[in-house]
Amino acid sequence: MASYDPRDKDHVFYRHVLGSSGEKALRRLGEFMAIHVPHRDAWERELLRDLERAVSASKLKTRMVTTPTKWKLENLLHDRKDFHGETVKALRKPKIVVDMDITSKDNLIVRWRPHPESNDFTFTEWELRPQPPHRPVNELFFARGFGQTIADAGEHEDDKDAEWWQALQLRVGEATLMCVKDLLNELGEHCDVTLDSRIVTENDPETGLITSWHFEDLEMIEERERAKREAAAEESRIAREAAERTRINQIQAVIDGAETTYGIPAPRLIGLIDAIREQKLDFPTTLKTMEAKFGMKPADPDINHVGNTRSIRRAMRELGIEPESVTLQKEDIEKPRAASISATASGATRKTETLSDRMKRRIVAHKASTPSIPARSGTDGAPDYSRIRPYAASQEELDRAGASSVHDLVVTFNEAARGTIWSPVSQADYPTSKAKFDRLAERMEKVTGMAVTAGGSMSR
């Protein structure tokens, strides 16, 4: 759409010709009519001037409602929680009721009154009573001839411009409603507004011109709002039910997956685990016993069975399924050999065993993997290496050093260093790492005066 140009007569048909606020709409209509409605006594321009006066007066009357000097502040104070959770005093908005009406002379009137369920203003009943010939004190907006403006749109003698005149009149009516909307928005910033009645319009989707309008009272408004709330509640209920069905299906899938993974239905699986573990057996032993005695599939080493069975137990609890009651005989309990426990089950054991048990197991494993090194007689001054764990050198590294093992390299060096300036390998220099192994190999070359070849043999 081209930018607004008041000189273009056809701009009256453009959807957003009036702008976004009532004051802007009045300003644009004034510019537009000054160019395209040449007669100064034209009723359209008179109506526009009345509308401008109504807007100016409404600003003064709105201040009477929004000024705190007319509020009963003691009635507006209430307790609320601040960001720290402490109870503090706060000021709520005063409550008012706003209604609209079309008089017998087609004038649009917007009035306000204190909400009947609250006592938030200092106005007396006498102050709010009409005082002829003055306009009522609680009258916020008065637009002369509004109903006739829309009802008579298009009834002009000049049939050639009938459509244009109709659009112009409807724009005046639209500007009036925009001013009322701005008034309500300003009131809403300071007061808690309840609409007792309002004007609802239907607009042309292309030009935005008003095609029809009607009044809605509070009962109609509440009925529509109630219908909206009920529709939203029904939609929310359907969404919650769908989410709950999805959750139940996911839980059921966990329970059904137990038989696929272990070959035993979930209630019996959990019942067996509980019964076997009452015998003070660890989890890997429990799994092995179930495999040997109760037909469970072999435990998959890639599955965390502790977490998996915990999820199955939780799913059963969600659906109210009780574990099967299982009674075990003494011959049903079979403790498997430690070597047969899978890596995953062993990992589960480490989660449940005590610190002292874990340290004992590591010491046993260390002694089992450490080669037995006989202690030196001490006649050659060599230290005792029996408690030192040697570096796990690869066969290629041993070949390059010309030794069959790390200990063999140390013994060979000590024998070669006897009678020279070199001392035997100390416990601190014993090759427990690759760096110490390489350093000892270099010292070996210097002591023996030999060069290590790539093939693993040594030559002088």
Q: What is the pLDDT of residues 98-146, one digit of tens each?
A: 988 888 888 888 998 888 888 888 887 777 777 777 788 888 898 887 7
Q: Report DSSP state, residue 11.
A: G
Of the residues 208, 240, 269, the one at which a domain ends = 208
pLDDT at 330 (0 to 100): 61
Q: Each residue of 136-152: b (16+ CB within 10 Å) or e?
A: ebbbbbbbbbbbbbbee
Asked if residue 369 is part of any domain, the answer here is no
Task: Output the pTM of the full model.
Answer: 0.46
Are 19 and 160 part of one and the same domain?
A: yes
Range of the domain at 132: 9-208
User: Could you give the maximum distance between any two Cα atoms of the chain, in Å?
Assistant: 137
Asked if residue 351 is part of any domain, the answer here is no
Asked if residue 4 is part of any domain, the answer here is no
Are 288 and 434 part of one and the same domain?
A: no
Unique residue bearing structure tokens 């001013």 = 179
Are 260 and 397 part of one and the same domain?
A: no
Asked if residue 354 is part of any domain, the answer here is no
Overall domain count for the chain? 3
Are 122 and 234 part of one and the same domain?
A: no
Of the residues 288, 316, 341, the one at which a domain ends = 341
Are 76 and 118 part of one and the same domain?
A: yes
Q: Are strands 95-102 and 192-195 parallel, antiparallel or unpaired?
A: parallel
For residue 391, the cross-strand partners are none
Are 151 and 281 part of one and the same domain?
A: no
Report the C-alpha gap between 329 and 83 in whole angstroms: 62
The total number of residues written for the chain in this structure: 460
H or E stretch at 459: strand 458-459
- Going along 138-209, which residue ranges are E strands? 139-143, 192-195, 197-203
Of the residues 187, 208, 229, the one at which a domain ends = 208
Residues of the chain with pLDDT under 50: 1, 40-41, 153-154, 157, 336-351, 366, 370-379, 450-460
pLDDT at 130 (0 to 100): 73
Are 98 and 226 part of one and the same domain?
A: no
Are 293 and 197 part of one and the same domain?
A: no
